[in-house]
Amino acid sequence: LPKLRDSQSEAYSLQDFKFYTQTTFMVGLLVGSIAMGIASDRYGRRPVLLGCVASQGAAEFVIAFLPNFPTYLLGRLLTGTTASGIMLCSFSLGVEWCGPALRAWPPIILALAFSVGMMALAGVAKISQNWPQLHLATGVPQLMVLLLFWSLPESPRWLFLKKRTTEARNLLRQASIINRRSEVSWTPLRLTSKLSTRGANESTLLITFRNRTLRKRLLIMSYICAAVSMTYYGLCLSVGDFGLDIHMAQFLSGLAEIPQLLLPPLMRRVGRRSLCIVFLSVAGATCLLCLPLQPNLANVVVALALLGKLCAQVTACVATLYRIELFPTNVRPRCHGHRQNALGAVAMCGSVGSLLAPLVNRAALVLGVSALSVHGCLPLAGAALALLLPETRRAPFPDSVEECERQP
């Protein structure tokens, strides 16, 4: 429990502090997913990403010197908001710069970077003498990222959508030179016409709900994303409560996600739906297996919980790509903006699931039950629902509702 500079901290127990800070951070993630999604659609991925990195780095320095608990919570809210913006814009840039053959790699690389950060945080927290030092230590690397200001490109797809075709073509020409390939033959007129005219009447959630195929996909993917987010963050936030040293548990929590590097080659051979079903089932089963083993077999429980967290993370990576392939082109340019489109609604449900994770953990503590029962049942239900979705492996992106309905 941080030793804040007034007696107000004495009114909070360790569990209260964890609950309030975790919940406030998750609220920040939800706010950021809405605000930063809209901002990245309007102003571009690059400026929003750099702005979030600078804001989060500055926030870490400010948090280290905040005088009381309420202002500390405001700092955590800002950190969560900017963290969401960093994740959303990084993913958008990664996917929009990759061709179909490499489409699976951006979510995996970003998730791997997140895992490495979790492991590094364990070491930084171990050597930090107090919580202000911890925040200062985590703020420095984020400000160093700003050195990439001159080398980070904007999304060419976003530039095309904004009719800034000259800038987009220049970026593509530079990329073709770096990759020693002939110039990419994207036709701006064809691309923008696809994204602006095809399915122009399909862009709202109202139209999505009117179509049976899109409505079913929207509801199923919304549930899966919410369940996976709740399970993943629920296990992340409670991994130190399974009887292992908190620093070791944090390190192992990050290390356990390294095997997801095997996912891209696996996705070339196995369909998205099959992967979702398998990993959702394993995530749910491992959480439920922990229940009879607590508290006598702490090491086994930690291993099972980390396996469940890995499966939830892998499912999230697969679902991130899967949901893009399930809906028409007109909703994909805003795949992370919480506007009136299908992917925005799906991403919103994932954010709500993240927000509910600390609330479920807290409610389970108050009621004297294990939150693992909830984290186990939700993914299993998601696996059953995934059986109703089509397979999209090696299939082109659908450009209209009619093409979605023709998917097997």
Question: What integer best gives the mean pLDDT of the chain?
Answer: 80
pLDDT at residue 208, as a whole number: 65
Asked if pLDDT for residue 11 goes beyond 70, the answer is no
pLDDT at residue 379, as a whole number: 95
- CA-CA distance, 48 to 36, in Å (whole number)? 7
Q: What is the residue type of 84?
A: S
Query: Mean pLDDT over residues 233-240, rounded?
Result: 83
Residue 81 CA, chain-centre distance (Å), reads 13
Question: Would you tell me how many other CB atoms lie within 10 Å of the CB of residue 362?
Answer: 19
Structure token digits, residue 395: 């299939």
Structure token digits, residue 7: 């007696």
Per-residue confidence band for 227, with pLDDT thresholds at 50, 70 and 90: very high
Widest Cα–Cα separation across the chain: 66
pLDDT at residue 408, as a whole number: 66
- CA-CA distance, 144 to 19, in Å (whole number)? 31
Domains and CATH numbers, the chain: 12-162 (1.20.1250.20), 204-407 (1.20.1250.20)
Share above pLDDT 90 across residues of the chain, in percent, rounded to a whole number: 15
pLDDT at residue 198, as a whole number: 46
pTM over 0.85: no
* Sign of the Cα pseudo-torsion (308, 310, 316, 319, in order): negative
Asked if pLDDT for residue 188 goes beyond 70, the answer is no
- CA-CA distance, 346 to 352, in Å (whole number)? 10
Encode pLDDT of 85-125 as tens digits.
888 888 888 877 877 667 778 878 888 888 898 899 889 98
Question: Would you tell me how many other CB atoms lie within 10 Å of the CB of residue 88?
Answer: 25
Are the CB atoms for 378 and 284 separated by under 8 Å? yes
Structure token digits, residue 219: 């509801």
- CA-CA distance, 61 to 64, in Å (whole number)? 5
